């Protein structure tokens, strides 16, 4: 019988091989089984903070505080840097709040995120998180503020391109405020999976709001982290990545054809500043698969 301790040892051994530290939590959505590695330690969310922003947008839309279909015109040249999406557009574009959320989650569009957060408000987002009982999940900054803090700390103009930091020591990278949970958007692996469980159980907001968030998370395009651990076409994986210098995260929900549903949160920080290390992305899928496979064992729960 495979024990939780054995699964944790396997995950930690692989983490050491690829050069990352891991914080992890995986839990049944419809049961009580769970497994974790430092799951209560505060972690930097990176773009994972877009999940609570999406929830607040959906909640306000469902409660009539805003119209998700309202047209929003985005001029070219928005000041928030983003490697994908609206920041790359040459011309003005108009789309709805709902469609901006698709960009925010689907391709991690920073411009869409900052527009949405400015509309729903940081305080309203924080209020919803407090109402749901989260003590360590915070959204004190938008994308531009996170990225600006990196530039301020280094005395450069930083535009979300890790190659600009390739000559820095890992110690200097780790000293950035954007990589310290006390100074940026943060959560714990346990709290973010609890939030996902609430969304999948229609308990984080109204059923229609939760359904919107689930659809947005299902539309994420990136296959190289969480999804890489579940190649079976019958397994559905919805998620949100998070990336900052030395940080690679993903949180999401894995749904098996037999009805088993599992919330997973995996947060990693690297021992060096290399930006392109595919095995570190793949590690997230490996760790998720190990955790979910153990949760699916009839005897899961043994230490």
pLDDT for position 300: 54
Give me the DSSP letters along 19-48.
Answer: TEEEEEEEEESSSS-EEEESTTS-EE-GGG
- Six token digits for residue 102: 């698709």
User: Which numeric CATH code is attached to 4-49+58-67+135-295?
Assistant: 3.40.710.10
Residue-wise pLDDT for 28-66, tens only, equals: 999 999 999 999 999 999 999 999 999 999 999 999 999
Q: Which residues contact 140 (CB under 8 A, 6 or more apart)?
A: 122, 184, 185
Classify 236 as helix, strand or coil.
strand
**Opening angle at CA 224, ends 15 and 12, nearest 5:** 10
pLDDT (average), residues 293-299: 92
Reduce the DSSP state of residue 255 to 3 states and report it. strand
Higher pLDDT, 157 or 71: 71
Total-model pTM: 0.96
Residue 160 has pLDDT above 80, yes or no: no
Check if the beta carbon of residue 174 is closer than 8 Å to that of residue 44: no
């Amino acid at each position: 019988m495979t024990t939780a301790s054995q699964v944790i040892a396997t995950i930690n051994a692989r983490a050491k091989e690829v050069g990352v530290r891991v914080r992890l939590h995986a839990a049944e959505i419809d049961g009580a089984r769970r497994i974790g590695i430092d799951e209560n330690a505060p972690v930097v969310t990176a773009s994972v903070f877009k999940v609570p922003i999406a929830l607040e947008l959906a909640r306000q839309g469902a409660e009539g505080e805003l119209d998700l279909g309202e047209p929003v015109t985005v001029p070219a040249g928005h000041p928030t840097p983003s490697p994908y999406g609206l920041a790359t557009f040459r011309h003005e574009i108009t789309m709805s709040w709902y469609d901006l959320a698709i960009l925010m989650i689907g391709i991690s569009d920073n411009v869409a995120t900052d527009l949405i957060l400015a509309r729903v408000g940081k305080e309203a987002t924080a209020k919803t998180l407090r109402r749901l009982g989260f003590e360590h999940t915070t959204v004190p900054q938008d994308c531009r503020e996170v990225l600006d803090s990196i530039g301020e700390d280094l005395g450069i103009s930083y535009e979300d391109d890790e190659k600009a930091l390739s000559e820095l020591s890992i110690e200097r990278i780790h000293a950035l405020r954007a990589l310290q949970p006390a100074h940026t958007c943060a959560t714990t692996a346990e709290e973010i999976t609890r939030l996902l469980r609430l969304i999948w159980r229609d308990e984080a907001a109204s059923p229609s709001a939760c359904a919107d968030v689930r659809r947005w998370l299902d539309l994420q395009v990136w296959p190289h982290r969480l999804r890489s651990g579940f190649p079976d076409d019958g397994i559905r994986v919805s998620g949100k990545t998070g990336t900052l210098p030395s940080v690679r995260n993903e949180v999401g929900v894995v749904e098996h054809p037999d009805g088993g549903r599992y919330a997973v949160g995996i947060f990693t920080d690297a021992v060096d500043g290399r930006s392109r290390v595919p095995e570190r992305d793949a590690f997230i899928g490996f760790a998720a698969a190990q955790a979910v496979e153990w949760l699916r064992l009839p005897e899961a729960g043994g230490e």
